[in-house]
Structure 1
């Protein structure tokens, strides 16, 4: 995601989507086994980005844990890729909005590793949270010229992405099963698809594909660059989310497929929708898309391509706001590490 606080400032839709599972996180914090003193309780936050959407859920989880043991030391490990900009998170944590404010014996730290691998020692984790992250793939297994979004692919084109998504999900579950104490819990919210494979973002990504093609046609974007661009996500169906749970060592306590409507969040009925919505779209797409510009381009050229893309996309969104605004489908899961 874009750093320097840009993603945090323009990720209201992600927070709205994650609210679907806030109550489950509190319930889990009231239920998970607590370690004997002086071992701290460990909360894992998987995919923190700039941290703006993590502060409130972590505060609620800490308060629920403290209602059970007022003196328990609590560690919160925020994890994300090594190249993530953790600076905005650190700034939030030391400010008045940060969950350490007014709460003693709370120790936040970060882990710069992929969540599709080991993050903690075995049996060390008590409670895990992931907010709008697990639909991202570890890598895009291939690209499809003219397409940038897996939900717009044919069945044959989508097959490598489906396989990678299954491998990633199983790897995530295997590592968390190893790290969680028996009876520990995960509360997860991520992009999803309806059983018919619609994600609610097809309109926006159709416009994106059209705008990229227009840039190639105008000579602004090179055809070889365009062919490398792909949004590396897979929005699993409910069945795909549930399939490996039991064999991976988890009990499914609750799950729900819900939706959040960007037409409401960003008010698609009012003038200026595109100006409000473009920063959100830019926050989630600029790095995945434009890191693939050729290495011989100067910084000025790279900026010109990027600006031309978002200016043209804004015009398309302004012309048809309802088609541009996503109705993101999200899957919420509450999982318990089996004690069997």
Structure 2
């Protein structure tokens, strides 16, 4: 899948249905709540700009906002913390103590911005009683691997659960003549060493572009708060840990079912790959050091929470349904663009049955390694 294809079709599953990202991102929201202290530390690193005429305006942008509630939690946390910081700091004049905020929600044009904005409460200025949203909101469609904002226009960037997504599947991974050709697989986990190296190079290239763009767009004294899927330093690029290996195996075996049953040809599976890479702390720091525009304030691994099952976690059918819906909320749009809605239904129905069989193991094992990072522009 080339870069333009990713931009055109990739998104978390929109709407508010059973397999939508909105209904299947509770674990991410729970994990984010654990990380808000790191966001607040990042905000404390921001240099408050000199105030011109009128109120102080602070600008923030969330990159890869998707259509769940996490981005809204981030926006509220930024407004609350920066308001408190200004009130108790040296910026105590009336204009600085009552700043205005502009928050940009950015994702690929294929993102369901309508669902996201339907979750926004009315702005405080129009609510009548002063309650409600305390920031002006805007959508910025585009890839975070490219420029999105004017130079020196943003005080703080955030990106949660997004930077492991690549701009494209590496060319050599889909080239039948290449040693990195990922035949019979759709993920990097469990693939060959050559495939892992190709994904690593793509990550390095994408991260260099990401950092270069953000360095141009941040105001002097600006900062970034980043959370994305990572892997332990001791693991190879093709080993993402027990939970991802389990999920990847179920996903690929479900594809193989469709091939074996004659519902799809093997070439359709061989030509499909997920554009994602889980870096190590060292790989990410290498990219930051190579760019040279940022100081690292915090860089650490955080283990995410377990699978969020609303019903009894020992109910095999409930676990199977939750796992299948969760995976469809993330990968479903890519699969549908490749094989259509009917075959996508078949694929995730088979994945649901496999998840039922492995329900106990999935509930125990399904945790995600995250990289949590705070960067300041130097």
Structure 2 SS opposite 1:334: strand
Are the counterparts in 2 of residues 17 and 330 from structure 1 also a CA contact under 8 Å? Answer: no
Query: Paired residue for 1:255, among 273, 276, 299?
Result: 299
Please say if 1:207 is aligned against 2:253. Answer: no
Are the counterparts in 1 of residues 120 and 133 from structure 2 also a CA contact under 8 Å? Answer: no
**What is the distance in 1 between the residues matched to 2:103 and 2:207?**
23
Aligned to 2:326: 280
Query: Paired residue for 2:264, among 221, 244, 249?
Result: 221
Q: Show CA shifts across 1:238-285 (max 9, x none).
A: 111111213421111011112224346666434421122221111011
Q: CA deviation at 1:16?
A: 2.9
Query: Paired residue for 1:315, among 353, 363, 373?
Result: 353
Q: In the superposition, relative to structure 1, how do residues 171 and 265 fare at CA in structure 2: closer, same or farther (>3 Å)?
A: farther
**What is the distance in 1 between the residues matched to 2:35 and 2:225?**
7
Q: Where do residues 1-340 of structure 1 align in structure 2 (5 Å cutoff)?
A: 1-5=12-16, 6-35=20-49, 36-37=51-52, 38=54, 40-67=57-84, 68=86, 69-94=96-121, 102=131, 106-141=135-170, 142-143=173-174, 144-195=182-233, 196-197=235-236, 198-200=239-241, 201-248=244-291, 249-263=293-307, 268-271=313-316, 272-293=318-339, 302-324=340-362, 326-338=366-378
**What is the distance in 2 between the residues matched to 1:231 and 1:186?**
26
Are the counterparts in 2 of residues 199 and 328 from structure 1 also a CA contact under 8 Å? Answer: no
Q: CA deviation at 1:130?
A: 0.6
Are the counterparts in 2 of residues 10 and 280 from structure 1 also a CA contact under 8 Å? Answer: yes
Report which stretch shifted further, 279-288 or 100-109. Answer: 100-109
**What is the distance in 1 between the residues matched to 2:223 and 2:276?**
25
Are the counterparts in 2 of residues 177 and 337 from structure 1 also a CA contact under 8 Å? Answer: yes
- Unmatched runs of 5 consecutive residues or more in structure 2: 1-11, 87-95, 175-181
TM-score (norm 2): 0.81
**What is the distance in 1 between the residues matched to 2:290 and 2:320?**
45
**What is the distance in 2 between the residues matched to 1:168 and 1:140?**
11
TM-score (norm 1): 0.90
Are the counterparts in 2 of residues 43 and 127 from structure 1 also a CA contact under 8 Å? Answer: yes
- Unmatched runs of 5 consecutive residues or more in structure 1: 294-301
Structure 1 SS opposite 2:131: coil
Aligned to 2:9: none
**What is the distance in 1 between the residues matched to 2:185 and 2:361?**
18
Aligned to 2:91: none
